[in-house]
Amino acid sequence: MSSSSSRSAATRAGDQAWTKMSKMNAELFNLTYGAMVMQLIRDYEDVQDVNQQLETMGYSIGQKLVDEFLAKSGVGNCANFREVAETLAKVGFKMFLGVVVEVTAWNAEGTAFSLQVYDNPLADFVELPPQYSGLVYSNILCGVIRGALEMIKYQVECRFVKDGLKGDEVNEIRVELRQMVDESFGEEYNEGA
Amino acid sequence: MTESKRNAGSGGGGIRMLNILDRPLATKGRGGGGSEVSLSAFSFLFSEMVQYYQNRVLSIADLERKLEEAGYGVGHRVLELLAFREKQYRREIKLIGVLQFVSSTVWKALFNKVADSLERSTENEDEYMIHEREPITNVFVSAPADISQLNCAAYIAGIISGVLNGASYPAGVTAHHVAIGDGQREKTVFLIKFRQDVLRREAALSG
């Protein structure tokens, strides 16, 4: 019962955050991302390297984006990973991309879930040619999620398990919690010791 | 709405791969509404793009050229999209018409506003200028002193160039900072320099 009411609260928070954001045309966003992916494809020979580079770029975005999220979303602390997932899907995606994302397929331990992205604003005009079937076109999203969650102490792994560009009816990103980042001191101090 | 978009054109349930040409195109952006993302999302993405290029070039001129190249392909696509949506496939055959198409229709589609002004150069008849107080590529940019002449709106210059070239009005387009005084932020001027044969053709058509 409580979980369903918190879900709708997250949706409301997402809608409110979205209203406050400055907006721009989604197609220019879409085409800009396409131009960048094309550039990476020209620069790297292997599509796996392109996937990796997209993830890295996303990670760097996520680390900064989380600041804006915390400043503007009005969302408080999340008590557990489930709340993190709901907030990520209902507030985070909504606030920045204007789309609603569903959280599904929790594992028994509550450490892994799937995000179902029905409307992917990165891929509207995209058709993957056969020679790029290994390309995870929207992999930047995985990086963003990893970067953002790491900043709030959740170290996760993300990957696309379903991709609308490869014929799946929905985009699905699997998010798995690896470990909590140690709160007492940062990794850079660990390495020095 | 999402469901109908995904399913449209799939026809028989067995066909899972949806060809891009089967999907409806013109629904979005119709009537000025259009779908939107946050300006922040775009700015984060664009920032990554600029950084990526920055690590691969030696000079600011090269960086701007890279951004222009990236925009060029986008310009072609924008022209195609708008030709479908706004112009009922009609071609622009007047120089001033194509410039107005860029500064109003294209601007409105991409930036949700018309350009601040469109001017003809008083010195060179093959040069036109589009003024824009705050291009969306520059909203969150403050270039450090050592690269202060960098104008990230070079990306938009590339888009304009792509649109004009696609419309058979080949032109070089560059973005420049122009001070407007009073301590305000510099505005951006897009300098459009048409190729000579464009002007000859224009003269022949009107003569």
% pLDDT > 70, chain B: 80
| Domain segments of chain B as ranges | 38-206
pLDDT at B157: 92
* Highest averaged pLDDT of the listed ranges B28-32, B127-131, B134-138, B177-181: B127-131
pLDDT at A115: 92
Average pLDDT, chain A: 85
To the question of domain B38-206 being in CATH 3.90.1010.10, the answer is no
Question: What is the number of structural domains in chain A?
Answer: 1
Structure tokens at B61: 């001129």
Q: Does residue B156 carry a pLDDT above 90?
A: yes
pLDDT interval class at B6 (50, 70, 90): very low
- Rounded to an integer, the average pLDDT of B136-153 is 80
pLDDT at A128: 84
When comparing pLDDT for B21 and B112, which is higher?
B112
Q: What stretch of H or E contains A178?
A: strand A171-180
Which residues from A are below 8 Å from B78, CB to CB?
Answer: 27-28, 31
Asked which of A183-192, B33-42, B86-95, B191-200 is least confident by mean pLDDT, the reply is A183-192
CATH number of the domain within which A53 lies: 3.30.1380.20
pLDDT at A144: 94
Q: Could you list the residue range(s) of the whole structural domain that residue A35 is in? A: 2-192
- Tens digit of each residue's pLDDT (9 = 90 or more) over B167-179: 889 999 998 888 8
pLDDT at A193: 46
**Among A106, A94, A91, A121, which residue's Cα sits nearest to residue A6?**
A91
- C-alpha dist (Å) from residue B98 to B42, B101, B105, B150: 27, 5, 10, 28
- Tens digit of each residue's pLDDT (9 = 90 or more) over A101-151: 999 989 888 889 999 998 888 888 888 888 888 899 999 999 999 999 998
Find which of A29, A117, A139 to mutate to test the B interface (most B CBs within 10 Å of its CB): A29
User: Residue B86 and residue A78: Cα distance in Å, rounded?
Assistant: 46
pLDDT at A187: 60
The side-by-side arrangement of strands in the sheet containing A112-117 is A101-104, A112-117, A171-180, A154-162
Asked if the C-beta of A111 comes within 8 angstroms of chain B's C-beta atoms, the answer is no
Contact between residue A173 and residue A142 where contact means Cβ atoms under 8 Å apart:
yes
Contact between residue A143 and residue A66 where contact means Cβ atoms under 8 Å apart:
no
pLDDT interval class at B27 (50, 70, 90): low
- Rounded to an integer, the average pLDDT of B148-177 is 89
Q: Which residues of chain A have pLDDT under 50?
A: 1-3, 193
Q: Does residue B158 carry a pLDDT above 90?
A: yes
pLDDT at B75: 93
Nearest CA in chain A to B155: A32
Structure tokens at B185: 């932020």
Contact between residue B117 and residue B99 where contact means Cβ atoms under 8 Å apart:
no
Select from B5, B19, B35 the Cβ nearest to the Cβ of A26. B35
User: Residue A131 and residue A169: Cα distance in Å, rounded?
Assistant: 21
